Amino acid sequence: MAEQVFLQKRLLGGSTVRVIRVPQPSVDECDVLIRVRFSLISTGTELAAARRGAAEAIAARIRDQTQRAEALRLVRRMGIRGTLGVVREKLLARDPTGYSGCGTVVAVGSRVDGVAVGDLVAYAGSPHASTVRAGKNLVVRVPPGVQPDDAAAVAVGAIALHAVRRAEIQVGDVVAVFGLGLVGQLVAQIARAAGAYVLGIDPLPERRSLAQKLGASAVSPPHAVHPLQSTNLPTKAVDKAIVCAAGGGSDIYAKAAAILRDRGTIVAVGAVPLELPRELFYYKEIDLRLSRSYGPGRYDPSYEQHGISYPRGYIRWTERENMAEFLRLVATGKVQVRPLVARTFKVSEAAAAYEFLQRATPRPVAVLLDFMDAEAHSRHSSGPRLDGSISQRAETGRICVGIVGASHIVRRIHLPNMARHPRVTVRKLLSTTPEAYAQLIGRLTQGVELISDARELLEDRDINVILVANRDKQHAGWVLRAVEHGKHVYCEKPIATSCEECLRLLSALESSTVKCTVGFNRRCAPLAQEAVRRFQEAADRPLLVEYVVCTGGLARDRWIFDPRWGAGPIVGEACHFIDFARWVFDANPVVVSGTRLGEPVPDHLVQDLFVQLHFPEGRSATIRYCSESPGDFAKERVVLRGERTVVEIRDFESLRVLAPERLEKTLRVQDKGHGAFLAAFVDAVAGSGPLVCNWEDGLWASVLALLALRSARLGYPIGVPGDLRGAIEQVHRLS
């Protein structure tokens, strides 16, 4: 276990600082696991986050027209109570904080080079925690002569260094630094090391004094009319201005422009609104540049998460290079960190550290968190255990569930549904993601044990059902482990993401007596059931299924696009709609065809696909999965057409019968069938009913999604063998 710092917003303002024991993060092939010695809290981004309260966040959302529209859509679909639950979860979430620290390497991934176990390293982008995981491009070795407490400022130092690079400072330039907080103090020192004369501008006299002690050529308050006239600088106009202030209003750019020479440069680092005086900027032809965090590579998943470096001949100073160069400046004494740190707090005193930053006089620039005491404590600590029924064996006839994963669907759908079901007891919930684990502490139903060790869940003899709801590429492995331990399985879609996983599951489940279902809950949606019933009453049968899904576009930094965790939206989500067509027709397709929409991308990045499924007897299904924004239209629109009957479902909240009669039915709250699907699964496990869908349905949906992608890549329709093993082998042949 590790100790980690979180901020939890208070309703009326500010945040509560909490130190929570969470699972130690796992290490992937491009990751470095670090036992932290020090991490640094700055007065910039972190302090601003600590000051914001839930009420302020609510007010901001109310002012935003898009947010208001989204809230109204949620009310229509989930009702007021459900919407309040979503809002409460978002606003009162425990947010990780921190992004700069230093520690010792305890494990490295197989593709990590340049650092080894036992090295003292500095890292960026990871939270305040006793053990952190960082991508290899966000970790640098600490050079000899640099102390761990100084190296803990590496991320802030890289921000400052990148800002100086953006200014393109030359020897002899006069550089004005607006805002002498932590970043501003470091910018001033780095600019001086680059050969510039530095003018520090800040309203606080103690910060101006500190900047002068650290080498600034001159200082001035921001309200000075002519800040350069009373200095010994070689010119009475500034060549470059670097704005590091987080406050001061938008007029700070007017003040910077007023003291700049013609064709001077302003670099924006701080979070100040860019409301610019156009006339002054135009008259002086001022060059405005933005400085984005640590440097090139920041916010690029291929660089930060997958360890893919840029060609050195094209991008010389990446964020990792900036981090290493900052530490070299510290090693040579050209940059000093220690005078900027007001105090060092133990991690157990994290709340006092944030309080000190906000209330101490004079205002401190930075403080450190010391994790030395956390190391021994974390080695001997375990996760929280709630008192109550967890020590009691499950009652006879009850379904005792162990949950894998703390995803949104678990928190918002499965846990409430299971709490309402009279025959279901949730015994344990496994989460190995520190942030998700922290959200659940103190929020689970009495009697639920929160764990981080998989063996505790699998070896619990009272647990007879495993709900698998973690990331997609972990599903198949967990289903296999559950089956090996003789436990029934409720697996969220997809059950498999590759033909290799499909074959392993097929071999294991063919000979198993456990019941295994896949969460294709739309089979149990009331309006889907109603639509099928309409055809039965009309003695008609569906001949065509048209299913249109508008996702609004998924951000590329989502885990579903990361090959380590997901296989992309088509395999991960569109399989759901493929299964719906199989359910309506109660048959397997004989031909599948896929057509990509938009630019060619690898299969796991496809967000736009047109799928055609041809079934026996001339029946067919068309599924259009697209990244268009639904706007005022339905996110999901399903049309079932027969010889005489046409039925339309919109977002599983309204149904229209278009023929032979015309009528409309609207639910009070959207219902996609989760509750009914769970109830049917519980009955099946208890032996009082059949499974709504079984593991074979899950494998067919995954195989057909994979074949649709193969068809789109190859450019022709693909015949589907009639047996599951043959269909899986067809995927393998076309890979």
Residues 605-630 pLDDT 10s: 999 999 999 999 999 999 999 988 76
In the block, tokens 């001035």 appear at 220
Topology (CATH level 3) of domain 389-519: Rossmann fold (3.40.50)
CA angle centred on 278, ends 276 and 284, rounded to 5°: 110
Question: How many angstroms separate the CA atoms of 686 and 314, rounded?
Answer: 64
Contacts of 351 (CB under 8 A, 6+ apart): 16, 17, 18, 19
> What's the N-to-C CA distance of the chain in angstroms?
41
pLDDT confidence of residue 67: 60
**Cis amide leading into 660 (omega within 30):** yes
pLDDT confidence of residue 391: 32
Please give the helix or strand (H or E) that residue 328 lies within, else none: helix 319-331
Query: Which CATH homologous superfamily contains domain 156-295?
Result: NAD(P)-binding Rossmann-like Domain (3.40.50.720)
The residues spanned by each domain of the chain are: 2-153+337-377, 156-295, 389-519, 522-733
Question: How many angstroms separate the CA atoms of 474 and 493, rounded?
Answer: 11
Classify residue 303 as exposed, middle or buried by CB count within 10 Å of its CB (0-12, 13-18, 19+).
buried
Chain centroid to CA 145: 37
Question: How many angstroms separate the CA atoms of 379 and 150, rounded?
Answer: 26
Burial 581-617 (b: 16+ CB within 10 A, else e): bbbbbeebbeebbbebeeeeeebbbbbbbbbbbbbee
* The pairing of beta strand 100-108 with beta strand 31-42: antiparallel
Query: Which CATH homologous superfamily contains domain 2-153+337-377?
Result: Medium-chain alcohol dehydrogenases, catalytic domain (3.90.180.10)
Asked if domains 156-295 and 389-519 share a fold, the reply is yes
3-state secondary structure of 94: strand
DSSP state of 539: T
* The pairing of beta strand 31-42 with beta strand 366-370: antiparallel
Beta strands in 347-453 (DSSP E): 366-370, 399-404, 424-430, 449-451
Give a three-class secondary structure readout of 130-191: CEEEEEHHHEEECCCCCCHHHHCCHHHHHHHHHHHHHHCCCCCCEEEEECCCHHHHHHHHHH
Positions of the chain with pLDDT under 70: 11-13, 49, 51-92, 230, 247-249, 374-397, 630-632
pLDDT confidence of residue 380: 45
- Do 693 and 517 meet the contact criterion of CB atoms below 8 Å apart? yes
Contacts of 723 (CB under 8 A, 6+ apart): none
Q: What is the pLDDT of residues 576-614, one digit of tens each?
A: 999 999 999 999 999 999 999 888 899 999 999 999 999
Burial 493-511 (b: 16+ CB within 10 A, else e): bbbbbbbebbbbbbebbee
- Do 276 and 288 meet the contact criterion of CB atoms below 8 Å apart? yes
Sign of CA dihedral 38, 42, 45, 49: positive
Topology (CATH level 3) of domain 522-733: Dihydrodipicolinate Reductase; domain 2 (3.30.360)
**CA distances from residue 133 to 28, 105, 108, 125 in whole angstroms, order as listed:** 9, 10, 10, 9
Contacts of 591 (CB under 8 A, 6+ apart): 612, 613, 614, 717, 718, 719, 720
- Do 620 and 544 meet the contact criterion of CB atoms below 8 Å apart? yes
- Do 244 and 222 meet the contact criterion of CB atoms below 8 Å apart? no
Tokens coding 314: 């094209």
